[in-house]
Amino acid sequence: MSLEGKSRVITTHKLLEMKQRGEKISMLTAYDYTMAKIIDEAGIDIILVGDSAANVMAGHETTLPITLDQMIYHAQSVMRAVKNPMVVVDMPFGTYQGNSKEAVHSAIRIMKESEADALKVEGGIEIIESVNRILSTGIPVMGHLGLTPQSIHKFGTYSVRAREEAEAEKLMEDAAALENAGCFALVLEKIPAELGAKVASRLKIPVIGIGAGNGVDGQVLVLHDMLGLTQEFSPRFLRRYHNLHDEMLGAVKNYISDIKSKDFPNEREQY
Ligand code: KIV
């Protein structure tokens, strides 16, 4: 296959143009081949191989336990499926904070072993040295501010962030620092809509929200949540587009019942 044939349709440059012409950016998480193939076919702009895989794929309570090897495995599975969207991979907790050398090492491992398009990191000025180092290697970086789940033990709660002026100001400073460093986009999670809109209008780079209102440049949701596969997680910002949990439950119950009643397999389903 030619290099051109392998390159993704959605690039950092395209995302910037989308912001400039007011076209909203769509982003969803995916962690495996089958799901990534479906959401690529649907026309999504960005796939995030989120560290939320720790929750929805592995059943952990927080995103902290997922490892670099596990994130690379998920990213490789997604990369085998996609043609058009940009694929962004979350750098897992402990692979970039506090040590910019290790940050570059982790970033290069993800990019080399998965062939993804970009990386996402959580935090602002505290991690700017790592962000600068990763950017210096030519890897595109997406920032993530507001409710940053890797800091859940510091926050103590998953409630809305930056309601207070001091935290909102710090968020504005962090957003500016990430843009100035050279990040190509920013995720804002669970903050007041007014603040989301303010950040999006101040920054030139696209700002993608999850619970950050409608004044940002795009939206992201966790795939398993928007499909209704997960049931226990119901924040206000989550719009469920399906109830796959109930559909799957019904299908599996029917399968069990068909086996027990000796209806499956029937004559046409055997050799
Ligand atoms: O890991 C993830 O799924 C994320 C999104 C919630 C933005 O970071």
Average pLDDT over residues 157-163: 96
d(CA 88, CA 36): 12
Say what percent of the chain tops pLDDT 70. Answer: 98
Residue nearest atom 2 in ligand 1 by C-alpha distance: 50
Q: Which of 7-21, 51-65, 243-257 is predicted least confidently?
A: 7-21
Q: Which of 4, 189, 247, 267 is catalytic?
A: 189
Please report the pLDDT score of residue 48 as a whole number.
Answer: 99
8 falls in which pLDDT band (50, 70, 90)? Answer: confident
Q: Is the pLDDT reported for residue 225 higher than 50?
A: yes
181 falls in which pLDDT band (50, 70, 90)? Answer: very high
Q: Quote the mean pLDDT of the chain.
A: 96
Residue nearest atom 4 in ligand 1 by C-alpha distance: 50
Average pLDDT over residues 216-245: 97
* Domain 12-240, architecture per CATH: Alpha-Beta Barrel (3.20)
Enter the pTM of the model.
0.96
Token digits of residue 223: 């795939």
4 falls in which pLDDT band (50, 70, 90)? Answer: low
What's the burial of 68, exposed, middle or buried (CB within 10 Å: 0-12/13-18/19+)?
Answer: middle
Average pLDDT over residues 52-77: 98
Residue 63 Cα, ligand 1 centroid: separation in angstroms?
A: 9
Average pLDDT over residues 122-139: 98
Residue 130 Cα, ligand 1 centroid: separation in angstroms?
A: 20
Backbone φ and ψ of 88, nearest 5°: -110, 135
Residue nearest atom 1 in ligand 1 by C-alpha distance: 50
117 close to ligand 1 (CB < 6 Angstrom): no
Please report the pLDDT score of residue 2 as a whole number.
Answer: 45
Residue 5 Cα, ligand 1 centroid: separation in angstroms?
A: 29
Please report the pLDDT score of residue 10 as a whole number.
Answer: 94
6 falls in which pLDDT band (50, 70, 90)? Answer: low
Q: Is 41 a catalytic residue?
A: no
Mutual angle of helices 100-114 and 68-79, in 10-degree steps:
30
Provide the residue type at 187 as one letter: V
Please report the pLDDT score of residue 214 as a whole number.
Answer: 98
